[in-house]
C-alpha cells in the first residue's frame, strides 16, 4: 500500500511585513506607511488577535466604537483609508472594506498669514538654516516633510527649480525657485560648509547630525517659536506657510491651475479652497451694486 505523501503546512504569513512590501511597491512615503501601520495595529488591539482573522461585523463595531469615543471625522477617514488598503491589498479581502464608512465633514478654511506677518515670521528666526528652511516652505509652497527631505542636489539653479521627489502620493514634481530664495540658499550653503555640516550630496537641512535630515517636529517648533517671537496671535504651523504661498499667488493673479501644479494637488477642488481666503482678490471685485448706484447717480443728475 502506497504511503500518503506528507504535505508541509504553509509558513505563517507575517502580515506586517507583507503590508510594508505592498506599500513600498506602491511608493507610499515613510509617514503614510507609519500612519497605516499604526492604525492597523490599533485595530489588532481592538480585536485582541491578528487583524487577518477579522469579521465584517467586527470591522463595523470598530468604527462604531471610534465614533462613540468622539474621534473626529478626518481621523476616522484616515482609519478607513489604512484599513481599506490592508483588507483589499494585503489580505485580499475586499468584502471587509465594504463595511468601512467614510464620513463627510465641512472643511475648515486654512489659516493664512498676511505678507507683513510672513515677513515678521521669517525675520524672527534665530539662525540662517531655520530662515532658509521656512523660506523654502513659503517661497516654494512645500509641505514640511518635503522641506525636510530636500537634498542639495534637488536645487536646480540653472532651470530655477526645486526637485521634489516622492511628495504626497509618491508623486515627483518641480517647485518654483525664486532668485531671492536661491540667494538665501547659497548663503546657507556657504555657512553650512564652514560649519562642516554640508556636503554636495547631503541633506539641504541637516538635523542634529549631518547624516540625518532635520525632523518635521523640529521644523514645527521653529515655526511656533518664530511666530511667538514675532507676536503673531494666529495659530501658525509649517502648513500655514504653504497655505499663505498659495493664497498670495492667487491674490497676485496667478492662474489657479498653475498653483495646483506648484502645490502638487491631484484635484483642482483642493486648490480652489484658497479662493475662499484670498481676501485681496475679493476686494478687487467690483460689486454690481456699485455699477447700479453709478447709473442711478447719472440719471438723477440734472441735465444740461
Fold (topology level) of 115-283: hpI Integrase; Chain A (1.10.443)
Question: Are 187 and 128 a contacting pair, CB within 8 Å?
Answer: yes
Q: What is the DSSP letter of 114?
A: -
Question: Are 141 and 245 a contacting pair, CB within 8 Å?
Answer: yes
Question: Are 58 and 95 a contacting pair, CB within 8 Å?
Answer: no
| Active-site residue, selected from the candidate residues 16, 84, 163, 239 | 239
Give me the residues paired with residue 176 across strands: 161
What are the grid coordinates assigned to 83, written together? 484599513
Closest CA to 177 of 193, 154, 199: 154
pLDDT, tens only, 226-255: 999 999 999 999 999 999 988 888 888 888
| Active-site residue, selected from the candidate residues 143, 173, 243, 248 | 143
With residue 299 as reference, give the H or E element that holds it. helix 288-300
The one-digit pLDDT tens for each residue of the chain (304 residues) are 455 544 343 344 588 999 999 998 887 878 889 999 999 999 999 999 999 889 999 999 999 999 899 998 889 999 999 999 999 999 999 888 888 888 887 777 778 899 899 999 999 998 999 999 999 999 989 999 999 999 999 999 999 999 988 656 567 788 889 999 999 999 999 999 988 888 888 999 998 887 889 999 999 999 999 999 999 999 999 999 999 988 888 888 888 888 888 888 777 767 776 666 666 655 555 656 666 667 766 766 665 5
Verify whether residue 239 is a known catalytic residue: yes
- Tell if the pTM clears 0.85, that is, is over it: no
Give the Cα separation of 214 and 31 in Å (integer).
Answer: 15
Verify whether residue 265 is a known catalytic residue: yes
Which CATH code fits 15-97? Answer: 1.10.150.130
Closest CA to 87 of 35, 43, 32: 43
Cα-Cα-Cα-Cα dihedral sign, residues 248, 151, 226, 107: positive
Verify whether residue 248 is a known catalytic residue: no
Cα 283 versus chain centre, distance: 29
pLDDT, tens only, 151-196: 999 999 999 999 988 656 567 788 889 999 999 999 999 999 988 8
Domain boundaries for CATH 1.10.443.10 within the chain: 115-283
Amino acid at each position: 500500500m502506497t504511503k500518503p505523501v506528507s504535505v508541509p503546512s504553509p509558513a505563517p504569513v507575517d502580515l506586517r511585513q507583507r503590508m510594508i512590501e505592498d506599500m513600498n511597491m506602491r511608493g507610499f512615503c515613510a509617514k503614510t506607511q507609519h500612519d497605516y501601520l499604526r492604525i492597523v495595529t490599533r485595530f489588532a488591539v481592538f480585536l485582541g488577535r491578528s487583524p487577518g482573522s477579522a469579521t465584517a461585523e467586527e470591522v463595523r463595531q470598530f468604527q462604531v466604537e471610534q465614533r462613540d469615543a468622539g474621534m473626529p471625522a478626518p481621523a476616522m477617514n484616515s482609519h478607513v483609508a489604512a484599513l481599506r488598503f490592508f483588507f483589499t491589498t494585503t489580505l485580499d479581502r475586499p468584502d471587509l472594506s465594504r463595511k468601512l464608512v467614510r464620513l463627510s465633514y465641512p472643511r475648515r478654511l486654512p489659516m493664512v498669514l498676511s505678507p507683513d506677518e510672513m515677513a515678521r515670521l521669517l525675520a524672527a528666526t534665530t539662525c540662517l538654516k531655520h530662515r532658509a528652511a521656512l523660506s523654502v516652505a513659503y517661497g516654494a509652497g512645500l509641505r514640511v516633510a518635503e522641506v525636510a527631505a530636500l537634498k542639495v542636489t534637488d536645487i536646480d539653479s540653472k532651470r530655477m527649480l526645486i526637485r521634489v521627489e516622492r511628495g504626497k502620493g509618491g508623486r515627483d514634481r518641480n517647485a518654483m525657485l525664486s532668485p531671492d530664495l536661491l540667494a538665501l540658499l547659497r548663503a546657507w550653503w556657504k555657512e553650512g560648509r564652514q560649519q562642516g555640516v554640508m556636503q554636495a550630496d547631503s541633506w539641504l537641512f541637516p538635523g542634529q547630525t549631518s547624516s540625518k535630515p532635520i525632523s518635521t517636529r523640529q521644523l514645527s517648533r521653529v515655526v511656533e517659536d518664530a511666530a511667538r517671537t514675532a507676536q503673531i496671535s494666529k495659530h501658525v504651523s509649517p502648513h500655514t506657510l504653504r497655505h499663505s504661498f498659495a493664497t498670495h499667488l492667487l491674490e497676485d493673479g496667478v492662474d489657479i491651475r498653475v498653483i495646483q501644479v506648484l502645490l502638487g494637488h491631484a484635484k483642482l477642488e483642493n486648490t480652489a479652497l484658497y479662493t475662499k481666503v484670498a481676501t485681496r482678490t475679493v476686494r478687487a471685485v467690483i460689486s454690481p451694486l456699485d455699477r447700479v448706484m453709478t447709473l442711478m447717480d447719472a440719471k438723477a443728475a440734472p441735465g444740461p
